[in-house]
Amino acid sequence: MPPQSTPQSSILVFDGGMGTELYERGFFINRPFEELNLSSPADVANVHLAYIEAGAQVLTTNTFGASRPQLKEFDIDQKLFEIIQAALKNANHARKGHDKVQVALSMGPLGVLVEPLGPFALSDAKEEFRLIASSACQSGQDFDLYILETFTQIAELEVAIEGIRKVDPVRPIVASLSVKSSQKDLLTEFAKRIGERTDIQYLGLNCSEGPSDLYVSLKFLKPLTQKPLIIQPNAGTPRHVNGRYFYMSSPDYVAKFAKRFAEAGAAGVGGCCGTRPEHIHAIAHSLKMVDAQIYGGIAGMNRTKKQDAGAVKGGTTPGTSESQPRRSLADRKESKIGQILNAGKKVLSVEVLPPKGTDLVKFFEGIELLQKTGVDLINIPDGARAMTRVNSMHLASLVQSRTKGAMHAIPHFTTRDRNLIALQSDLLGAYVNGVTDVLIVTGDPPKLGNNREATAVYDIDSIGLTYLADCLNRGITPSGESIGRGTSFGIGVATNPTAINLELEHQRYLYKLESGADFAITQPIFDSESFLRWMDRLGDKAIPHVVGIWPLISLRNAEFMANEVPGLHVPTWVLKEMEKSADANGSTDSPEAKADAIKRGIDIALKVMEEIRSVASGVCISAPLGRVDIVSKLIGAHSK
C-alpha cells in the first residue's frame, strides 16, 4: 500500500480506475460494478481510501454506469437513487479525516446510441442525466463537482451538461472526452462547442489508447481553449490473457507522462482504465517535481461550497478542420441519381433480387432484358426479409463492371449484419469499386428469415447509418477522424407514406434529412392519395422521392402484401380488382387466370404511376418474385 505521506502538487491529482481495482479484488463483470455500492460498500470505500493514501485529491464515485438504460439490462434500474446515494456515502466515508480531498460524481455515457447515430432522442438523454444529478442532489450526501467522462459524442455530452444544470447551477463540471489524437476534427469541435460554454468549468481527456496518444491530443487541444484541462489516461491498451484483462503500462511509465502532461499545461492528472493506486502514487510523486501553476483550477475550491463556482471566461482559438463541407447532391458528379435529378429527369429504376447462390445466369439475363427495355438503373436489396443472398454491394459493383457502365446499381445497405467497423469498411470498399449511390435501410430482423439463429448487430439504425455515410462523404469518420479524400455517395433513405404511425415516420424522416439524406425511395405504394398527403406534409422539407411500385401478379400475391408485409397498405379496391382474375370456376391457377391477374396488376401499377407522376421524382419498380419480364411489360405499357 502506498504511504500516506505522498507529497502534494500544485497540479491536482485525480484517482485511478474504480472498475479495474474492483476487478483486481475479485469482483467480475457479470454484474455492474455500481451495484457493489449497495452489496459491498466496504470494498468500494476501501478502493477510495487506497487512492487517497496514494495521493489522490479528487475521488470519482463508483457511478460511471449508474443510469437507467444501463442498469435496466440487469433489472436494477429502479435502484438508481439508492445506488447513487450509497456511492456518495462510500466516498464520503473514505475521505473522512482528509479535509482537502474532494468527491466528484462520475457520470458516463448512457450506453445507448443517441441521435444522430441512434434512435435515442437527445431530449430523453437530457432527462436521464437530469435524473442522475437530481438523485445526487437529493441524496443527503456531500459532493463537490461532477465529472462527465469517457464521452465520445459531443451531442450526448452537451445534453448531459444541460441535464445537470436543470437541477444544479452551482457545482463545477469537468466535461471529459474519450478521443484519439487522429480525431482532430472531434477535438476542434470539442473545444468550440464544449469549451466555449459558460456553464462548465473544466475540459478533460480520458481513456483513449494510453498516455502517449493522450499526450498528443493534449498538445493539440491546449491552444484551442482557455479552460483548465484534466488528463486521465488508460494504463495502455489491455491484453486478454487466460480470460483476464491486463494493462501493460507500468506506474513509472505513466508517471513519466504525468510530468509531460503538466509541462504541456494540464491542470490535473489522474488515471482511467487499468490504473491502480500504484499508478496514482507514482503520478503524485512525479507532479510534485513539476513547478507548474494551475490556472483557475479545482484545487483552489473549498468544500464548503460558499465560494462562487463561476466559469473560467475565455474563448477558443479556432482550429483547422480537416473535414470537407457537405456538398449538394448536384455537386457529387459521380452519383447517377444526382445526374438524373440535376438534369430535371425522372428516375426509372428496377429492384431486382440478388440470387441465392453463385449461379448468376438468370440474374444477368434479367439485367440484359432491362437494358433492352431502356432501363439503366437497378436497385439491389441487401438480405431482404433477412434471407441469405449474394451481397448487394459486391453484386452492384459486378453489374457495373460487366455492363461496362451501361447499368448503374443502387445497392441497399443495412445495419443489421455489420458493426460500426464493418459498416465503414464496406462503404469505403464499395466506393473504391465504383458504387456511388446507396439506399440505407435498417434491415429486417433475422427471425423473419432463413437464419433465425443469427445474431442481429444493429450498432446503429438507418438514421445513424445515414449520418455515417454523410461523414464519409465529408472525409471523416463519425468519431471525427480524418480519412483524407472523402466518398461521393448519393445517399438514399427509405420512407413509408402508409406507415401506421405516421407521426413517428415523419419524425424519423426529419432525422434522416438532418443526417444527410439526399433522396428517398418509398415502400411499394398502392394508394396514391397516401403518398400525395405525405408530400404535402413534408412541404419545404421534402427531398426527391422515388416511389416504389410493385406490379401484383396474383390474388395470393396481393393478399400476402396486404397481410404479411409489415408497413404496407393495400387498399380494398386493389384486392377486389385482383379477385376478378379468377375464372368462372373460381380458380386462380389456370393459364387464363394467371395472365389476367398479371394484366390487372400492371393496370393497377399504371394507375398509381400516373396519379403520382406530377409529384414524384420517379419510380422504382420491383420485379415481383424475380419476374423481370413483367417489369418490362409495365414499362412498355407506361411509355405508350
Of 146-150, 445-449, 621-625, 631-635, the range with the lowest mean pLDDT is 445-449
Please list, in sequence order, all residues whose beta carbon lies within 8 angstroms of the beta carbon of residue 279, skipping any fewer than 6 positions away.
16, 235, 249, 251, 254, 255, 271
Binning pLDDT at 50, 70 and 90, where does residue 309 land? very low
Q: Read off the pTM.
A: 0.71
Of 242-251, 310-319, 589-598, the range with the lowest mean pLDDT is 310-319
The pLDDT of residue 236:
74
Q: Within this chain, do residues 115 and 128 fall inside the same structural domain, yes or no?
A: yes
Binning pLDDT at 50, 70 and 90, where does residue 308 land? very low
Residue 450: count of CB within 10 angstroms of its CB? 11
Q: Within this chain, do residues 397 and 512 fall inside the same structural domain, yes or no?
A: yes
The pLDDT of residue 15:
96
Of 170-174, 410-414, 442-446, 485-489, the range with the lowest mean pLDDT is 442-446
Binning pLDDT at 50, 70 and 90, where does residue 25 land? confident
Contact 556, 593 (CB under 8 A): no
What confidence tens digit (pLDDT) does each residue in 233-257 have?
988 765 554 455 556 678 888 888 9
Whether the pLDDT of residue 566 is over 80: the answer is no
Binning pLDDT at 50, 70 and 90, where does residue 298 land? very low
E strand or H helix that includes residue 366: helix 361-373
Binning pLDDT at 50, 70 and 90, where does residue 445 land? confident
Mean pLDDT of 28-46: 89
Of 263-267, 289-293, 343-347, 555-559, the range with the lowest mean pLDDT is 289-293
Q: Within this chain, do residues 474 and 590 fall inside the same structural domain, yes or no?
A: no
Answer with the residue of higher pLDDT: 238 or 61. Answer: 61
Q: Within this chain, do residues 232 and 285 fall inside the same structural domain, yes or no?
A: yes
Q: Within this chain, do residues 578 and 448 fall inside the same structural domain, yes or no?
A: no
Do the domain assignments include residue 589?
Answer: yes
What confidence tens digit (pLDDT) does each residue in 78-134 have?
999 999 999 999 999 999 999 899 999 999 999 998 888 887 899 999 999 999 999
Whether the pLDDT of residue 570 is over 50: the answer is yes
Q: Within this chain, do residues 229 and 207 fall inside the same structural domain, yes or no?
A: yes
The pLDDT of residue 301:
36
Contact 463, 508 (CB under 8 A): yes
Q: Within this chain, do residues 354 and 230 fall inside the same structural domain, yes or no?
A: no
Contact 445, 382 (CB under 8 A): no
Q: Within this chain, do residues 472 and 488 fall inside the same structural domain, yes or no?
A: yes
Residue 24: count of CB within 10 angstroms of its CB? 12
Look at the chain and report how many structural domains it folds into.
Answer: 3
Q: Within this chain, do residues 492 and 588 fall inside the same structural domain, yes or no?
A: no
Q: For 186-199, b where at least 16 C-beta lie within 10 A, e where not — what string?
A: bbbbbbbebbebee
Do the domain assignments include residue 476?
Answer: yes
Name the residue range of residue 86's domain: 12-27+41-300
What confidence tens digit (pLDDT) does each residue in 201-223 have?
999 999 887 898 999 999 999 99
The pLDDT of residue 586:
58
Mean pLDDT of 309-319: 28
Q: Within this chain, do residues 437 and 404 fall inside the same structural domain, yes or no?
A: yes
CA distance 551 to 532: 20
The pLDDT of residue 410:
98
Whether the pLDDT of residue 585 is over 60: the answer is no
Secondary-structure percent of the chain, ordered helix, strand, coil, rounded to 5: 45, 15, 40
